[in-house]
Amino acid sequence: MTAAAQGRIVRLAETARRAIRFWLDGQELRALEGDTVLTAILLSAQALRDAEFGPERRAGFCLMEACQDCWLWPETGARFRACSTQITKGMRLRSWPPGDWPASGEGQA
């Protein structure tokens, strides 16, 4: 069965860009330079994260920075939107906030 038949996103063009590695929740994944974080994850993992209040998996919603469905956290640093952030070589990401969030100082003046 093909990836498309399994409901996965499939890259149809721009396949000649350089491949890079990144990590999501400790799992090594691959992307192409120039991909957004959201694109990179959905091409590899079918979903971005688990929903907070149910068994569903989340995969982004608006794709234009208007919602909070694609928030991710780097292993260090403040959360960001995966739909508008470019993937970089060696990025280490978390689908859930760190244990001390939001007390970690993010979003505080």
Tens-place pLDDT, residues 56-80: 877 878 878 788 888 999 988 889 9
Give the helix/strand (H/E) hosting 41: helix 37-45
* Mean pLDDT for the stretch of residues 79-96: 94
Annotated domain spans of the chain: 19-94
- Residue 44: both structure tokens together: 């590899």
- Residue 37: both structure tokens together: 């974080």
pLDDT in tens, 28-43: 999 999 999 999 999 9
* Mean pLDDT for the stretch of residues 8-35: 91
Q: Does domain 19-94 have CATH number 3.30.70.60?
A: no
What's the order of all strands across the beta sheet hosting 27-32? 27-32, 19-24, 92-94, 71-74, 80-81
Say yes or no to pLDDT of 3 above 80. no
